[in-house]
Amino acid sequence: MSLSSLAAATALAVSAVTSNPAPLLPDLGNDGYQVAAYDLTYDVDPATTLLPGTVRITAVAARRLSEFKLDYAGGAVAKVQVDGRPAAFHLDKEKLVVDPATAIWGPFTVTVDFTADRAARVPSVVDPTAGWSNDPDGGFAWFGQPDRAHLFFPCNDAVNDKAYFTYHVTVPTGWTAVANGALVARHDTKSASTFTYTSAHPLATQLAQLAVGKYALVTGTGPNGLPLRSAVPDPAAAKPVLDQLPSYLDWLQQHIGRPFPFETVGLLGAANRPMQTDALETQTLPVFEASALTKPENGYVVVHELAHQWFGDSAGIADWNDIWLSEGFASYFDHVYTAEHGGQPLADSLKWSYEVLDPEVRANGLAPANPVRPDLVFGLGRGEGALVVYALHEKVGDQVFRRIIDTYLDRYRDGSATSADFIRVATQVSGQDLGPFLHDWLYGSTTPPMPGHPDWTATTSATAGAHSAPAPRPGS
């Protein structure tokens, strides 16, 4: 069968087999426009939880809009302007509804003066602990995944609406601000410092990061001259992990087969974490609890978050049902790293998940690309997603597997992909009709046979039906 025939067959398989799962977080995001850039300005006073800010959003409306919405919660709005003219607005639950003086169509700007409240806690069906990570001394970091970014600033909080970010953050003297991208300017006075960061690549709002604290900035050089910059409260304590950052990156580049996808990278050590997971892959500046960066044995967690920079950050996901494309690959590579650095062999570490966890998950109507319940999305993405990636590797072999991920990462760099997009890439690159195989793994109600492991037996335990969440693996 020719590649064009395979592609056509796969397209038919996609439409016929995919169950078209409903969006997990249907209230997130807004239609009618696409954001191109966010320009954020903050004036930080660590003595208060109130954080005044201004966001200037550059966007493009795909149709005539006499009204449009932004996502925003947990704070107040003082003023909204559209294309420089005052606009009427009101808050409705977690939406900022804007009525411009005249309808918009095509390119437009919206500027919002707002005050976020770092003490605000807004309900979440995924992780109610996520959001602001507030330090006892008044510092903070952001944990915006998956539905918390609109606590920090008004935005289109849709996972597939990537945009460029610029931050202008003024902090008292002695404090440091760090954010996504590169530090492009710093202005110091006797009482304050203003830091300006700009991202060279677009990012999803859930991957935005701004942290303010009494950080030490640790710089260096990674593979291929990659600039490194980390922010930690105690560089001496974090030295065992920070010293390994170039080697983690080198290992990932060799195993993924591509250079690091962004302009810089570093590790952020926050005083605490609000999320149920141990870390978050915020773009170019993954965040960890500072104490975790003092322990070299946590290297696999760092590798996990760095792997996300390729999978989930650079090649993003189009919907939260596709989270396996992010978490599955990051977990797969942290398993491989562990196996190659004195840990359990790769097959042994995945066999239990295959024989015990996966059958029970599927018996409860769940699947890697059909999580059904928002609170299970990350556990399924990490646990079952890693099995899908491993199964594909075993099916096609290492060389074809590498070509598949290379093509996928190249095609969707700085963009977003669906599970169907990945299936098309895998089919085109491999020359095999992988549609049915991957659909069984992504949507099937029973655990498929694991290629290359006929001795692996998937059996549903007597506790099926009482399943709550897959056993978590540290990292996000």
DSSP string, 62-106: EEEESSEEEE--SEEEEEEEETTEE-EEEEETTEEEEE-SS-EEE
N- to C-terminal Cα distance for the chain? 40
The structural domains of the chain, with segments of one domain joined by +, span: 3-25+316-443, 34-214
- Tell me the pLDDT tens digit for each residue of 146-174: 999 999 999 999 999 999 999 999 999 99
pLDDT at 17: 43
Query: What single-letter amino acid sits at 379?
Result: G
CA 100 to chain centre: 32
pLDDT at 108: 98
What's this model's pTM, rounded to 2 decimal places? 0.93
Contacts of 325 (CB under 8 A, 6+ apart): 311, 312, 315, 317, 385, 417, 419, 422
Among all chains, which residue has been given the structure tokens 């044995």? 297
Closest CA relative to residue 377, chosen from 339, 323, 434: 323
| Structure token digits, residue 70 | 């932004």
All residue ranges of the chain with pLDDT < 50 are 1-18, 462-474
- Tell me the pLDDT tens digit for each residue of 121-135: 899 999 888 899 999
Contact 215, 187 (CB under 8 A): no
Contact 249, 306 (CB under 8 A): yes
pLDDT at 22: 85
The Cα–Cα gap between 69 and 92 comes to 10
pLDDT at 267: 98
CA 124 to chain centre: 17
Closest CA relative to residue 152, chosen from 172, 169, 136, 137: 169
Contact 434, 401 (CB under 8 A): no
May I ask the CATH architecture of the domain 34-214?
Sandwich (2.60)
The Cα–Cα gap between 94 and 170 comes to 27
- Tell me the pLDDT tens digit for each residue of 438-468: 999 999 999 999 999 999 999 865 444 333 3
| Structure token digits, residue 290 | 């500072």
pLDDT at 475: 55
pLDDT at 95: 98
CATH class of 3-25+316-443: mainly alpha
The Cα–Cα gap between 32 and 22 comes to 20
